[in-house]
């Protein structure tokens, strides 16, 4: 029997993943911060170095988030670290593992879920198979791979 992952457990997995992506982003930005501080022998004004970091940080965060999600969801674990820890899997309509391209589409479509006043995320609570807007766009579903023990 397929159990679909609901809103709250998916939200918890997302929070866990956002924390991991934030750490990855900070670590990845480190070299840019060092470069900004040492450019031109340290003669670059602090505000210019800060502008460089403010430009680079969102790009690094976006790329880190995309790779983290797309690689994780297309891997044999079928999910990110947060999903895996909570026993969730991202699957295609047949229940099989998705590929990197579909996982990338799913990640990009999360922007639609967010842009629509978060309604795309809230759809999980009312849609059949508990699918968010980005799941509909990518043709995916999030399932619970570990069933709770019976009472």
Structure tokens given for 57: 């940080």
pLDDT at 149 over 60: no
DSSP element (H, E) containing 112: helix 100-115
Question: What residue segments make up the domains of the chain, in order of their start?
Answer: 7-144
**Of the candidates 91, 103, 89, which has an alpha carbon nearest to the alpha carbon of residue 140?**
91
Q: Specify the pTM.
A: 0.87
What's the pLDDT tens digit per position in 74-130?
Answer: 999 999 999 999 999 999 999 999 999 999 999 999 999 999 899 999 999 999 999
The per-residue pLDDT for 21 is: 97
Spatial distance between the Cα atoms of 125 and 127, rounded to a whole number of angstroms: 6
């Amino acid at each position: 029997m397929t159990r679909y992952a609901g809103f709250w457990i998916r939200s918890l997995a997302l929070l866990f993943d956002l924390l991991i992506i934030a750490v990855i982003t900070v670590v990845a930005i480190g070299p840019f911060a060092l470069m900004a501080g040492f450019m031109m022998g340290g003669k670059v004004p602090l505000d210019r170095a800060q502008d460089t970091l403010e430009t680079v940080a969102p790009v690094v965060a976006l790329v880190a988030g995309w790779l983290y999600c797309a690689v994780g969801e297309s891997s044999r674990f079928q999910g990110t670290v947060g999903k895996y820890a909570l026993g969730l899997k991202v699957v295609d309509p047949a229940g099989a593992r998705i590929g990197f391209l579909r996982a990338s589409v799913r990640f990009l479509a999360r922007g639609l879920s967010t842009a629509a006043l978060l309604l795309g995320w809230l759809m999980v609570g009312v849609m059949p198979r508990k699918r968010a807007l980005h799941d509909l766009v990518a043709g995916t579903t999030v399932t619970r791979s570990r069933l709770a023990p019976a009472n």
